[in-house]
Amino acid sequence: MIFAALGMKQASLIAAIENGDKTIALMRKISRSGVLTSIRLCRFANLPANSALTGVRLVGGSAASEGKLEIMYLGAWGTVCDDSFDTKAAKVICRMLNLMTDGAEVIDASQFYSTSTSSLEIWLDDLSCNGTEGSIDDCSHKDWGENNCTHSEDVAIRCGVNAPVRLVGGLTSYEGRVEVFFNGHWGTVCDDSTDVNFAMVVCRELGYPSSSPAVKTSGFYGTGAGHIWLDDVKCIDTEASLEECSHLPWGQNNCSHGEDVGVICRDHGIECYHCDGISDPSNCQEKIVCSPSESCQTSMYENNHQTLYSLSCQSKLVCDTFNSVPNIIGTKRATGLKTTCCDTALCNNVTLNVNHAHGVITGVTIAPSAP
């Protein structure tokens, strides 16, 4: 991130590590092609001295506080097996990443799977910590590289988020009045100029999926008290935090607390493929994080004598209806709609057939959807 802030794309860091009578030269390449430029958001791991453990990272998550756990040992990245791994071990990892240990949890790693993972070493197995260690080097585990696992047992975690923003007054943890911490005090944000991009940045900063949030204006979640810290906040959705968005100077505003803004984020759910109008579902690359009440859906339909697929999230209620009612007119304006749902991450890029599908429509001819 330092290099991105300086306008540089790549940098190389060479570290010489003493390992007994050997010196191991490590070349670690840092590549940043994204839009984040805030040095504040870098996560520098607290690594033990005189150790061949030289890196810890969370990969594939929708926020810096979650993802599949990877560790660098002897210059090579690898994974950790989930045998014996629990929230105590997750706390140690979060501590190493300078993230909050409160709320640390072990999560489903299948949503972060990628084909590149299969080439990695599985460095640790039977990792057991008491939760107070400063490094996983201090926890008990099998010898490095010794395991009886496959990559289907890779561990993933989510750390707590130490962000200077919070949501207050909502019915859930992912909605409420936006409050920011500045100069030692919490205060609100005026709804002037706020839009969905503002909500995306807030949700991202709090560690929630940034897709499909909502903005609530005019004190929807109740009026705050004290400072109104921000006004005329304008975001473009590339920012990592609200302070990177354009806004009036802190504390300067022409608002009342009746204009306090709130947002609704999306809670964490499984990840599904998200494409429409494609002939081969295995070619879908776009992904979306669903809400906890949704499954992954695959729909096959015919349009102008061509078989097409639609992949996305779908409510479990609708999926249950597909399972129980054989004839359903779906949302696709097409002939021969076949739909099925599944409940594991990225499970919906499969080719359907009649025996594999639920909610089959036959003999229905409807004009194609308007573009």
pLDDT digits (tens, 9 = 90+) for 286-297: 988 787 788 999
Which positions ≥6 away from 229 have C-beta within 8 Å? 180, 182, 187, 188, 189, 250, 251
Question: Mind listing the pLDDT tens digit for each residue in 230-256?
Answer: 999 999 988 878 878 899 988 999 999
Mean pLDDT for 340-344 is 89
Long-range CB pairs of 27-32, under 8 A, 24+ apart, other chains included: 27/75, 28/54, 28/55, 28/72, 30/3, 32/1, 32/3, 32/4
Query: Quick one: pLDDT at residue 42?
Result: 39
- 132-141, 197-206, 228-237, 335-344: least confidently modelled range: 335-344
- H/E stretch holding 2: helix 2-5
- H/E stretch holding 239: none
260 by DSSP, 3-state: which?
strand
Query: Quick one: pLDDT at residue 324?
Result: 60
In the block, residue with structure tokens 């400063």: 134
Angstrom distance (rounded) from CA 295 to CA 173: 21
Check whether 176 has a pLDDT greater than 90: yes
Check whether 34 has a pLDDT greater than 70: no
Query: Quick one: pLDDT at residue 258?
Result: 96
Domains and their CATH numbers in the chain: 1-42 (no CATH), 43-160 (3.10.250.10), 165-264 (3.10.250.10), 271-356 (2.10.60.10)
**Predicted model pTM:** 0.41
308 by DSSP, 3-state: which?
strand
257 by DSSP, 3-state: which?
helix
What value does the mean pLDDT of the chain take?
77
Angstrom distance (rounded) from CA 297 to CA 153: 25
Query: Quick one: pLDDT at residue 273?
Result: 93
Q: How far is CA 3 from CA 37, 97, 127, 237, 328, in A?
A: 9, 19, 34, 21, 55
Mean pLDDT for 168-173 is 91
Give 126: exposed, middle or buried? Use CB within 10 Å, 0-12, 13-18, 19+: middle
- 34-38, 43-47, 197-201, 253-257: least confidently modelled range: 34-38
Question: Mind listing the pLDDT tens digit for each residue in 109-163?
Answer: 888 777 666 789 999 999 999 999 999 989 999 999 999 999 999 999 988 765 5
